[in-house]
Amino acid sequence: MNDMITISKAEYEALCTAAEDLADLKAYDMASSMLLNGDEELISSEFVNRLLNGDNPLKVYREIRGHTQAQLAKLADVNRTTIGEIEIGRKQGSVATLGRLATALNITIDDLV
């Protein structure tokens, strides 16, 4: 059985617009819920632009969290010199080191690489 309904192009376009609006509302609700639950956080456009412009992610996230290199070194049990060398690009940091730094900053290791 082939049940068919014919509607005007205007009605079809209105339905498509309504479906897109519903998808946008669902995405907004999900993002709002994740923010309220602490699963996501807001980052200012200043920091986002720094990341997009190629600033070192470790330095950017360290500054977002308000830590000095020495404070982060203590939290992550990583040498402060190592943090400085990673931030200026002299070292990349081992996976273990980046993991400890990411944990201390409450981010994923993917955020640092």
CATH code at 96?
1.10.260.40
Q: Into how many domains does the chain fold?
A: 2
Indicate if 52 and 107 belong to the same structural domain.
Answer: yes
Most distant CA atoms of the chain, gap in Å? 73
CA dihedral in degrees (56, 60, 65, 68; nearest 10)? 60
Q: What is the pTM of this model?
A: 0.71
Domain annotation covers residue 73: yes
Range of the domain at 79: 45-111
Indicate if 57 and 100 belong to the same structural domain.
Answer: yes
Indicate if 72 and 26 belong to the same structural domain.
Answer: no
Band (pLDDT 50/70/90 cuts) for residue 1 is: low
Distances (CA, A) of 78 to 64, 104, 112: 19, 10, 15
pLDDT higher than 80, residue 35: yes
Indicate if 13 and 53 belong to the same structural domain.
Answer: no
